[in-house]
Amino acid sequence: MRLQEYQGKELFQRVGIPISAGKVALSPLEAEQAARALGGTVVVKAQVLVGGRGKAGGIKLARSPEEARAHAENIFQLQIKGERVRKVLVTEAVEIEREFYLSITIDRAAKKPVVIFSPEGGMEIEELASAHPEKIVKFHIDPLIGLQPYQVRTALYQASMEPTSLKLLSDIFFKLYQAFTQYRANLVEINPLALAAGKLIAVDSKFIIDDDDVPAELAGWEEEELAGSPEERAAKQADLQYVKLDGTIGVIGNGAGLVMATLDVVALKGGRPANFLDIGGGASAEVMKQALQIVLSDSQVQGLFINIFGGITRCDEVARGLVATQRELGIRVPMVVRLTGTNETEGRKILHAQGITPVADMEEGAAEIVRRVMAHST
């Protein structure tokens, strides 16, 4: 089984190979939040099981959380060598001074692990092998006695590495061999292994584990093929019923029947719904927040219509979720809220305090949001 970059890096970290801090994001909004949490310049990286992501536009530097989100929006639209992007890794950017290549794989003919090192990392090994075969150093490991310090020293001298870098590099060789044996890998690769501020950092990871011998602790690491858009996948994770449509008005309601009716009314008033989202019965403020995040992470959305007919769902809970989202994320598109039923007075009070005036009628609300989105876009 092949691991994603972020999974391979997790294993690197367990054996002590330094990586830069990072977070996995399932949507552009999560990428923005990850970038904000990490702070500073970040790299947004498509998590797909094929190489050459950089050249395919799947790796982008971002100087602000907003930029990270914009890059993630583009990256989630990509197909890299036929593979759809379902996750991105947001990492602290490394100031790379120099890039090395290091891998350990099984040499089938020799029936031994083989170490490959090059002082010219960054490009893929096949390219490097044809462009600069003299810049590649290779040696076998006897599996019975393991990697020997003299082997590493010899390889680094052959690669013309400065004596000062020997200790730093050799440490990574041993840790990578530990990862290779401990996780029963067929291949482990760090490309690039970057020199930055006097330290070595694994900027990328490639990890292939023997399918017949997967360690128990990695059970379930094989990534399932999750279908759908990033928003649909985020909704699935949050246990919300969401279907992406191709319009511009985000719709949130409680109860499938009510949401379907809402879509019809929006269409009848001349608008185009961007989605179906049912928060279900008895939704909490937290669920409402998740629903809003998912709908707002769709870059097509230019307006929001929230239609709540409170029964077991309490209007005050919905209002609290809405206000919290407004405060934390800022809702930047026009929004109309229709709120009636259980704890309506309480809910209205909460919204009023935040400067939101709910409407009482669904048809009136739909007409209002369509009008405002049109005014906004012309």
- Identify the helix (H) or strand (E) that includes residue 136: none
- We find the least distance from the C-beta atom of residue 196 to Mn ion, in angstroms, to be 15
Of the pair 93, 159, the CB lying nearest ligand GDP is at 93
Question: Is there binding between residue 87 and ligand GDP (CB under 6 A)?
Answer: no
Q: Residue 92 corresponds to which tokens in the numbers above?
A: 């602290």
Distances (CA, A) of 158 to 52, 71, 86, 323: 28, 41, 42, 64
Tell me if 204 contacts Mn ion by CB under 5 A. Answer: yes
Query: Measured in Å, how far apart are the chain's first and last C-alpha atoms?
Result: 51
Q: Are 329 and 360 in contact (CB under 8 A)?
A: no
Q: Which of 3, 25, 43, 195 binds ligand GDP (CB under 6 A)?
A: 43
Does 192 help bind ligand GDP (rule: CB under 6 A)?
Answer: yes
Beta strands in the chain (DSSP E): 2-3, 22-25, 42-46, 59-62, 79-80, 83-84, 88-92, 98-107, 112-118, 137-140, 185-196, 199-202, 206-209, 241-244, 249-253, 275-278, 303-310, 335-341
| Part in contact with ligand GDP (CB under 6 A); list of ranges 43-51, 173-181, 215-223, 290-298 | 43-51
Interaction residues for Mn ion, span 134-193 (CB under 5 A): 191
When the beta carbons of 54 and 228 are compared against ligand GDP, the nearer one is 54
- Specify the stretch interacting with ligand GDP by CB under 6 A; choose among 91-99, 271-279, 332-340, 370-378: 91-99
For ligand GDP, the binding residue among 204, 298, 316, 368 (CB under 6 A) is 204
Going residue by residue from 122 to 141, which x/- string records binding to ligand GDP, judged by CB under 6 A? Answer: x-------------------
CA distance 302 to 30: 19
Amino acid at 132: H
Residue 53 interacts with ligand GDP (CB under 6 A): yes or no: yes
Buried b (16+ CB within 10 A) or exposed e, 265-286: bbeebebbbbbbbbbeeebebe
Residues 104-123, mask of contacts with ligand GDP (x by CB under 6 A): ------------------x-
Between 12 and 305, name the residue whose CB sits nearer to ligand GDP.
Answer: 12
Q: Which does 215 bind (CB under 5 to 8 A by kind): Mn ion, ligand GDP, none?
A: none
Residue choice 24, 93, 245, 329 for contact with ligand GDP (CB under 6 A):
93
268's tokens? 């009848």
Which residues belong to the active site? 101, 189
- Is residue 96 near ligand GDP by the rule CB under 6 A? yes
Q: How far is the CB of 145 from Mn ion (least distance, A)?
A: 31
Decide: is 203 part of the binding site for ligand GDP (CB under 6 A): yes
Do 155 and 117 contact (CB within 8 A), yes or no?
Answer: yes
DSSP 316: H
User: In this structure, what token pair is assigned to residue 84?
Assistant: 């759809």
Query: Which of ligand GDP, Mn ion, none has residue 122 at its interface (CB below 5 to 8 Å by kind)?
Result: ligand GDP
Task: Decide if residue 5 touches Mn ion (CB under 5 A).
Answer: no
By CB under 6 A, residue 54 contacts ligand GDP: yes
280 binds ligand GDP per the rule CB under 6 A: no
**β-bridge partners, 119:** none
| 71 vs 237: CA distance, rounded Å | 23
Q: Which residues bind Mn ion (CB under 5 A)?
A: 191, 204
Query: In the complex, which residues of this chain contact ligand GDP (CB under 6 A)?
Result: 43, 45, 51-54, 59, 93-94, 96, 122, 191-192, 203-204
